[in-house]
Amino acid sequence: MKQYVVDAFTDHVFAGNPAAVCVMEQWLPDEMMQKIAIENNLSETAFAVKEGEHYRLRWFTPGGEVELCGHATLATAYIITRFVEPAQSTVRFDTLSGLLTVEKCGKLLTMDFPSFELRRVPVTEMLTRALGVTPAEVYLGADMVCVLKDEQQVRGVVPDQALIRQMDGLCLHVTAPGEHFDCITRSFAPKCNVAEDPVCGRAHCHVIPLWAQRLGKTELTAYQASPRGGVLYCRFAGDRTVLSGSAALYSEAELHV
């Protein structure tokens, strides 16, 4: 079985967020897909099978299957439009988060994703200890979002992974206004056995609705300030968040499983 590794939300390798992609003729057992994800030890391994006109897409972290992943969706669409069906410019995925559509627009891939609803929650002493800084505000959707004062606070966070594991939400994101971008974000996912997700599309389905309303604009450029870094071109559309980014192929391999 062929497997590709794609760096997503970047136009060159060794940046962005690497995702492994397997486009298959039929499904493997769930246990085997989980073992492949653990063996890859990337934040995400995506598995896709064409079913009718759409592809069914599933995402596995080293810690288990998740219901939504942005960078691995972008990576899978990149592989399909480059190698599997190069004549196609639109790919539709049936997923645990419903129908997701990805369109190829020049060098960018544009993804139509659901927006997460956020509710404000209290700032706790445990959260301050987990981040080493007291957030200005905290919100909870599927993940926890901590709004910090500025970009330097976001870049300076050294998280306590054990404490984050005890908190609500699958992932924890810290975000602030950017110095050169509309917003800057970092993402931590110890519950998925991922200490820091290099560039997280899922995170921006949380933070873009927040910053769009706060900044009074619907078109935003976001930066994920992990050591690898990545740029996302975003549009807030109410219950949908549109994310665009580039991708770069790192490797092709044959899996002997």
Q: Say which of 25, 31, 39, 44 is annotated catalytic.
A: 44
| Amino acid making up residue 161 | Q
CA–CA separation, 51 and 61 (whole Å): 23
31 is catalytic: no
Which residues make beta-bridge pairs with 12?
none
Token representation of residue 23: 């486009």
CA–CA separation, 57 and 27 (whole Å): 11
Torsion angle of the four alpha carbons 100, 104, 108, 112, in this order, in degrees rounded to the nearest 10: -20
CA–CA separation, 8 and 26 (whole Å): 25
**DSSP code at position 107:** T
Catalytic residues, which ones?
Answer: 44
